[in-house]
């Protein structure tokens, strides 16, 4: 008996990645029409996860710098003044 399997073999040009990746996605989606939204959301989640992994964290540049204490007035007794 014949073994028939739907298969997509893609050859993409890495010099032009965005349209090539989009073409692969659009080639796969018709095989799962009922799950098109789930597939696209999965691609979005994977893309966002990768973007988060490669983006430097906000404030990460400052993590290496020592934290200085605020300057104190040496004549200050530390007591709060009274309102008169």
Write the pLDDT tens digit of every residue in 42-68: 999 999 999 999 998 776 655 556 656
- Least confident range from 10-14, 28-32, 68-72: namely 68-72
Is residue 43 situated within a structural domain?
yes
| Continuous H helices in the chain | 17-28, 36-54
Tell me if 12 is assigned to some domain: no
* Model confidence, pTM: 0.59
| Residue 26 resides in a domain | no
Is 22 part of any domain?
no
Phi-psi region of 81 (alpha: psi -120 to 50; beta: other; left: phi over 0): beta
Report if residue 83 sits inside a domain: no
């Amino acid at each position: 008996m014949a073994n028939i399997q739907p298969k997509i073999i893609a050859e993409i040009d890495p010099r032009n990645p965005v349209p090539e990746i989009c073409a692969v996605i659009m080639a796969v989606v018709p095989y799962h029409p009922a799950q098109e939204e789930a597939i696209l959301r999965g691609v979005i989640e994977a893309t966002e996860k990768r973007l988060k992994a490669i983006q430097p964290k906000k404030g990460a540049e400052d993590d290496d710098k020592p934290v200085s204490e605020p300057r104190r007035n040496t004549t200050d007794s530390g007591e709060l003044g009274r309102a008169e």
